[in-house]
Structure 1
Amino acid sequence: MLKKSFLILSICLFGFSVIAQESGAPEKGKESFEELDKLDQGTNLERKQYKNISENNKDRVINSIKLLTIVTANFGDEVADSKTALEKIKKDYQIVLRYYYRRAYIASGKAMVALEKDITTLLGKFAKSYDTKTQNLLAECADTITAQEQAQLVDTSTEGVKPVVPYREIAEAQQKLRIAYGQLGLATDMTRDDRFYDAIVHYRIAKDYGIKILSDFKEQEADKKAITDKYAKDLVDNKNQIASQNTK
């Protein structure tokens, strides 16, 4: 019985010891020089390569974090755990810079590579969300144009009836929709190549055209406003800006 009690006590003390060690572990990028030296082991060639990665990829990472900050603020509720993932990305970028400024280039470069993978993953999730919304919006535009064409056929076939929507406006809408689908096609191609940042740019352009098509077909200002209100957050996001709480 005494041996069992001693064994249980030993296990508990060991567990507390591990927890204490973990809680007392230095924050990444703030290790002692001795610990940092262990993390930064490698050849001179590796040091140069990872230094270049840290320096050359910096602007791309900053731009990606800016984009993620905007899209997460606007549509974060549509992508599960995106806000938590973004916070981790921002903290990991701080770690990259800590290592870099401490001249631990191998540690910095490796952290940068891992960071970019996380950025790509999150951008990919948002790109998928953008794709769904853009597909639905452009399908609505196509249906609206088709309905206007059919209505015009009836109007022009009826004696004494003037078409509600002139053919010129329908033709302009058709041209806008072709451009929008062209942008959607570019976005889809870039998504296949994991170029999610660029894909989101083209999804936004496609949405801009789609919203304009729906708005232009409305005659009354109140109806036009209803369209812009419905897509208010998208219109702000298309400008690469964060929508205000009133817009949301």
Structure 2
Amino acid sequence: MDTKRGSARGDLERLVTRAGRGELGELPDVHRVDARAQSDFRDAAVLVLLTPTAAASAGPPAADLFLVQRSPLLRQHPGQIALPGGRRDPQDRDIVATALRETHEEIGLAPGRVEVIGTLPRVAVPVSRFIVTPVVGWAADADALGEVEEGEVLHTLRLPVSGLLDPASRATVTIQGFGSAGFAVQGGWVWGFTGNLLDHLFDELGWTRPWDRARTYEMSFAEARGATLPPPTPEG
């Protein structure tokens, strides 16, 4: 187990330890959990899954992050680029099992290949009425992925974290007067809940490189709904 100071794996372990002590800062107020006001929200989980980088030219941290681009045909969050995850099913043993199951379905990585480091404080996603538990995981070898469940995912993205942290790829994404942290990636922007969560985690990990938060990207409602993406192509 790599816990060497300055390693990506070790940084993740220290992040989870600090979270357990209540030492992490808070996300924007929109993601604050209010048990009374959100009593009807459903439980969900996402997996913050990192693996040793496959990019020869990637700078520190030497890790890749897995994201998925959701199908533009979905009813909730169509076309958005997000962390793998979803709502808790009755058969899930616990919320960690939810994150691992959803990740297996969405990127093809079997649960047994993921080392679960721990969980982070729950966050609210009011637009879809979920209370989300971020689960932190590490995959020492994620090169061979299995098939994914059809219908939900348009693309699986494995991206060097150093590229996400490039100040040239950062902006505040605004839509209809609301803004969130954004990351420009292949296929569009990481924004909304996922953008805010990654921005927060990179800050807490000490990985963030200074970027111009006054720089904005105005996203149209059509782009936000995935209308500008091609629909999935049927096989055969």
Q: TM-score band (shorter)?
A: under 0.3
In the superposition, the TM-score normalised over structure 1's length comes to: 0.19
Which has the larger share of helix? 1
- Which has the bigger relative contact order, CA under 8 A and spacing at least 6? 2
Which has the larger share of strand? 2
Specify the structure having the higher radius of gyration (Cα). 1
